[in-house]
Amino acid sequence: MIENFEVLAHADWSVRKSGRWLVTAEPFKGKWRIHEPVMVNVKGLLGEDIGSRGMLGVDVPIGVPIHWAKSVKIDCFLRALKNFGEDHWVDTLHPAVTADQISLFRPFYPQRPGGAKQAHILKALDASHINLLRRHCDFDEAGRPAASPLFWTLGAAQVGKAAIDFWLNVLRPAVLAELVHVWPFHGTLLELANGAKPIVAETYPGEAYSWFNLEITKNNRSKRRVEDRALDSQRLLEVVSKLDFDLEPNAEEQVINGFKNGGEDAFDAFIGLLAVVSVVKGHRPEQVIWDDAVRQTEGWILGRRPGPRTFSMMSEERNSV
């Protein structure tokens, strides 16, 4: 499938501009070459950076939980995204400041710390359990919750504020202008790779650590420490070689030096690109979603295998609304 692409890319996304890093790969002298991580240019991300024959993986949720979607009568996330910010959706992407501001049409909470409890959003969104506010793909193969609930915007693990930022600044404008295809909402990778629009897909670099047998999360190591990131440098070079890619000199230096320039965000952008390449080259299945309600409303994480919790959630959420 890789012959259908001219650029493969991955962005690690953050509300902080300094936390947004991009890694790209392009054909070079008969092979594919990975460039060094650079800070994201938001305006050019789905333009000159990726192009019409490119694919971008991004580490933010793309989709909403079915439990909430049913409550507000959403059956297609991308169609709903076009309306966010208008009419009764005017505050949907503005986190509530206080518990009494939370509603079905303003589900994100809190805007800032101070007395906020998850019980507040459970009550306001009529959810009997916090797992109803997670998507099916927010659980790993063992059935453990591997992601914070989308609407809960407090704590180091929260993902909601980054999602809002990406939706507002990148995804919504592109969807409104019909400039992009979003996996898996618009189809499988094979179907979309034959089109003339860039493809955007949700990824999770933290899961890809295990795909490549990295040691970064073991033995009290931390991706926040440059010396710990550097300990995986040889393994990352082996993965690049196994994928039959190579590195431009500056990119290789970054890997060897533990991504001193860009830190953990550049590191995750690099891992995310390797994950995208692994799926595109067929080393790992994309995991096409079998359930249209899940695919069109919640989306999926590229390459994530569903586990037993995913199947049991289907029964739970179908009986919850």
pLDDT at 260 (0 to 100) = 95
Asked if the structure places residue 131 within a domain, the reply is yes
84 and 53 belong to one structural domain:
no
Closest CA to 196 of 183, 184, 179: 179
Q: Which residues pair with 39 in a beta bridge?
A: 21
d(CA 33, CA 245): 6
pLDDT at 103 (0 to 100): 97
Q: Are residues 140 and 95 in the same domain?
A: yes
- Does residue 110 have a cis bond before it (omega within 30 degrees)? yes
Amino acid at 301: I
- For residue 166, give Cα distances in angstroms to 45, 263, 266: 11, 21, 17
Give the per-residue pLDDT at 1. 65
* CA 112 and chain centroid, separation: 23
Express each pLDDT in 29-84 by its tens digit. 889 999 999 999 998 888 777 888 999 999 999 999 999 999 999 999 999 999 99
Whether 286 maps to a domain, the answer reads: no
The pTM of the full predicted model, rounded to 2 decimals, is 0.93
Q: State which of 111, 146, 165 marks the end of a domain.
A: 165
Please report which helix (H) or strand (E) contains residue 298, including its range: none
- In terms of domains, do 107 and 81 share one? yes
Question: Are 109 and 149 part of one and the same domain?
Answer: yes
Residues 44 and 75 in one domain: no
**Do 159 and 148 contact (CB within 8 A), yes or no?**
yes
Angle, helices 263-280 vs 233-242, to 10°: value is 20
Confidence of residue 321 (pLDDT cuts 50, 70, 90): very low
Task: Note whether residue 25 is domain-resident.
Answer: yes
79's CB contacts (< 8 A; 6+ apart) are: none
CA nearest to 120, candidates 138, 101, 135: 101
> Peptide bond before 184: cis, by omega within 30 degrees of 0?
yes
Residues 232 and 269 in one domain: yes
Look at residue 230 and tell me if it is in a domain: yes
- Specify if 285 maps to a domain: no
Contact predicate 51/10, CB 8 Å: no
Note whether 133 and 82 are same-domain residues.
Answer: yes
Are the C-beta atoms of 56 and 11 separated by less than 8 Å?
Answer: yes
Same domain for 38 and 96:
no
Tell me the two tokens of residue 298.
Answer: 């919640």
Structural domain includes residue 88: yes
What is residue 286's three-state secondary structure? coil
SS3 22: strand
Q: Are both 40 and 99 inside the same structural domain?
A: no
Span 98-119, average pLDDT: 95
**CA dist., res. 36 & res. 261, Å (int):** 10
**Distance from C-alpha of 193 to C-alpha of 257, rounded to nearest angstrom:** 35
Residues 75 and 16 in one domain: no
Tell me how far apart the alpha carbons of residues 82 and 309 are, in angstroms, rounded to a whole number: 31
| 51 lies in some domain | yes
In a domain, 146, yes or no: yes
Q: Can you read off the two tokens belonging to residue 12?
A: 């690690």
Q: Are residues 26 and 80 in the same domain?
A: no
Residue 4 binned pLDDT confidence (cut-offs 50, 70, 90) = confident
Choosing from 165, 188, 217, the residue where a domain stops is: 165
Collapsing DSSP to helix, strand or coil, 319 comes out as coil
Question: Binning pLDDT at 50, 70 and 90, where does residue 307 land?
Answer: confident
Look at residues 280, 295, 311 and tell me which one is the last residue of a structural domain.
Answer: 280
Q: Give 146-161 pLDDT, tens digit per residue.
A: 788 999 999 888 999 9
**Percent of the chain predicted with pLDDT > 90:** 79
Tally the domains of the chain. 2
Tokens for 102, please give them. 């939370």
306 vs 300: CA distance, rounded Å: 10
Residues 71, 32, single domain; the answer is no
**By residue range, what is the domain housing residue 145?**
66-165
Alpha helices in the chain (DSSP H): 66-71, 77-83, 118-124, 160-166, 172-176, 189-193, 205-211, 226-230, 233-242, 249-256, 263-280, 292-297, 308-318
d(CA 276, CA 199): 11
223-230: long-range pairs with CB below 8 Å, 24+: 223/264, 223/267, 223/268, 224/263, 224/264, 226/257, 226/258, 226/259, 226/260, 226/263, 227/258, 228/258, 229/258, 229/259, 229/264, 229/267, 230/256, 230/257, 230/258
Which tens digits make up the pLDDT trace of 121-146? 999 999 999 999 999 999 888 777 87
Predicted confidence (pLDDT) at residue 313 exceeds the cutoff of 60: no
Q: Which two tokens stand for residue 41?
A: 């240019």
